[in-house]
Amino acid sequence: MTVVQKYGGTSVGSVERLRNVARRVAARAAEGEQLAVVVSAMGKTTDELLALARQVNPRPPRRETDLLMATGEMVSSALLTMALVDLDCPAVALTGAQAGMFTDDSFGRARIRGIDTWRVEEELAEGHVVVVAGFQGQSPQGDYATLGRGGSDTSAVALGVALRATQVEIYTDVQGIYTTDPRIEPNARCLRDIASEEMLEAAQQGAGVMHPRAVELGLLYDIPILVASSQAEFGSGSGTLIHREVQMEPENRVRTIALDRDVASVTLRHVPDRPGIAAQLFGPLADAGISVDTIVQNASELNLTDLTFTVSKGDCDQTEELSRPLAGALGAADVLFKHDLVKVSLIGTGMQSGPGYAATMFRSLSEAGINIELITTSEIRITCLVQADRGEEAVRVLHSAFRLDEEI
Ligand code: ADP
Ligand code: ASP
Ligand code: MG
Ion ligand 3: residue ranges with CB closer than 5 A: 8, 150
Q: What is the pLDDT of residues 111-151, one digit of tens each?
A: 999 999 999 999 999 999 999 999 999 999 999 999 999 99
For 153-204, how does the pLDDT look when each residue is reduced to its tens digit (9 = 90+)?
A: 999 999 999 999 989 999 999 999 999 999 999 999 999 999 999 999 999 9
Say how far apart CA 270 and CA 159 lie, in whole Å: 48
pLDDT tens profile 36-47: 999 999 999 999
Task: State in Å: Cα 209 to ligand 1 middle.
Answer: 3
Ligand 1 neighbourhood includes 207 CB (under 6 angstroms)? yes
Cβ–ligand 2 contact at 150 (below 6 Å) = yes
State pTM to two decimals.
0.93
298 pLDDT tier (thresholds 50, 70, 90): confident
Residues 211 and 121: their CA atoms lie apart, in Å, by: 25
Q: Considering only residues 275 and 267, tell me which one the structure prediction assigns the higher pLDDT.
A: 267
Task: Indicate whether residue 209 lines ligand 1 (CB < 6 A).
Answer: yes
Whole-angstrom distance, CA of residue 347 vs CA of residue 402:
11
Nearest ligand (C-alpha, residue 205): 1
Q: How far, in Å, is the centroid of ligand 2 from the Cα of 159?
A: 16
| pLDDT reported for residue 273 | 84
CA–CA separation, 16 and 138 (whole Å): 31
Q: Is 183 in the pocket of ligand 1 (CB under 6 A)?
A: yes
The pLDDT score that the predictor gives to residue 247 is 65
The rounded Å distance from CA 150 to ligand 2 centre is: 4
**pLDDT score at 258:** 98
